[in-house]
Structure 1
């Protein structure tokens, strides 16, 4: 079986390795340049390709249509997308003889779209997962091929959960590869009416609104904790990144639960939230000024 793989991030590296172990011949990998404005804390697909002597290219999104003649000539059995961030044109998907399949970091149909793990934590979910699905022109809308679930602990950050989802993605690939190698693609309905779609997130979305509940603010802190850009608030004229928080008391009796915002008691930092509950800030630091 031959494949062309669009890949980036840890999920891209782990799933590429799983394909190689299974004996899939990878004719080309399409990845992208790292964003100079992003904290790159994850594994490199281009480095893996160099080590394994797999041909790879790094076009920008507008250059993708230029690949169509090359992919038509390769005529791969499968096209895979593993955490590749750009929309792949339908003419490219059509180059796969059997199927074009994408790995998405949620339990579809929930959390279609961008930043699925961050959004799941932000919404207080207790579970998420990885889903392999058929790619269509509409994002994350094709039939589900296989999925695996992971738990989200009450204090886990997006990075903690991402590590679990990366492993779940590999287990999904390994479960379904025997069928794929035989040219069989399992299908189950991806019922979009039971799901949700979310767009990307910007660093400015990390602003803490102290009128929200303590649970909502704790979820925000976890969802965007470093190495993501971080939740932030203003304190004494300085922007502070809130890296870690806790809802576990007991809290000092001296806290004024009627006054929203930051309060410092006995060298401990607390945020008073809109539901008159306190949240302890376990770790914070000044934001870098550019």
Structure 2
């Protein structure tokens, strides 16, 4: 009887929705996942995404949650798993050279490399008004997001899409890209395309403070900021009279409203305002955002309440 061929063995570094979906692709594709390296959820973070740990528990996959990706203990555990391949699916730590030397390693990045390299690629793409993004599987190197491209899948960014909505599309794109290339990746025939680092750019992580609105900017810029950080992300905010107002839902007034916007905002300073019992954000170019949901220090605020608060703030009360 012919000896059964050994399944390819992998160590997977994974977190978040992309981590869950891509881990499931590997399992469906016949990969023996010997070990998963993931993160414990932080109590200070809004956990709106799926759990890699839950998948491991359901599937009986060994997993660990080391605090330091550079620790000798982690290196020893990965080496002991004797992987043929390694994958990183939205794992949040950079892998050092010693780990990358264990086996060929591939990372799934949430943009069309070389565009939007680095942290929070979906949020940065929306913030910059991009109309397309996607997912890229690439070879891992010590330099982040710099290795040869193995697979890509493109998705559109619609004019009113939030980063949360785009992230959902990118998650599906990551699953599809990995599913399509996995057979050729396992047999060694997958393509290696040049990742031209002279194109695109590198972006760092984003902090809640980066969501502060500058109402003097054009309305499209302000709207892109709102879309990029809208819930479940921390949200775009403005401080008035010691109160923090966070824009939960908003729409950019369309061109057919532009004349009305300019007339209504001609005598209004940039910032929050109330017109005809509706909340607006007046921007530097005279156009406005129609705000349908706003919170004040974490609590929903109505147009009437906002109007009263803004009047009090203006009078110094």
Conserved in 2, the CA contact under 8 Å of 1:257 and 1:278? no
Select 2:55's aligned residue among 48, 53, 62.
48
Conserved in 2, the CA contact under 8 Å of 1:61 and 1:87? no
Aligned to 2:304: none
Conserved in 1, the CA contact under 8 Å of 2:114 and 2:195? yes
Aligned to 2:131: 126
Conserved in 2, the CA contact under 8 Å of 1:144 and 1:189? yes
Select 1:216's aligned residue among 221, 225, 250.
221
CA pair 45-64 structure 1, distance change in 2 beyond 3 A: farther
Conserved in 2, the CA contact under 8 Å of 1:210 and 1:272? yes
Q: Within 1, Cα distance between the matches of 2:122 and 2:71?
A: 26
Conserved in 1, the CA contact under 8 Å of 2:265 and 2:286? no
Conserved in 1, the CA contact under 8 Å of 2:70 and 2:95? no
Structure 1 runs not aligned, ≥5 long = none
Runs of 4+ off more than 4 Å: none
Q: Within 2, Cα distance between the matches of 1:184 and 1:2?
A: 17
Aligned to 1:9: 16
3-state SS in 2 of match to 1:244: strand
Deviates more, 1:221-230 or 1:277-286: 277-286
1:187-235 Cα distance to aligned partner (Å, 9 max, x none)? 0000000120000000000000011110000000000001101000124
Select 2:297's aligned residue among 269, 287, 290.
287
Conserved in 2, the CA contact under 8 Å of 1:257 and 1:272? no
Structure 2 runs not aligned, ≥5 long = 1-7, 300-317
TM-score calculated relative to the size of structure 2: 0.87
Q: Within 2, Cα distance between the matches of 1:54 and 1:257?
A: 63
Conserved in 2, the CA contact under 8 Å of 1:122 and 1:223? yes
Which of the two has higher C-alpha Rg?
Answer: 2
CA pair 76-51 structure 1, distance change in 2 beyond 3 A: same
Q: For 1:86-125, what aligned pairs fall within 5 Å after superposition?
A: 86-96=93-103, 99-125=104-130
Aligned to 1:69: 76
Aligned length: 287
1:130-154 Cα distance to aligned partner (Å, 9 max, x none)? 0000000000000000100000011
Aligned to 2:312: none
Aligned to 2:204: 199
1:113-145 Cα distance to aligned partner (Å, 9 max, x none)? 000000000000001000000000000000000
3-state SS in 2 of match to 1:61: coil
Deviates more, 1:254-263 or 1:15-24: 254-263
Deviates more, 1:235-244 or 1:8-17: 235-244
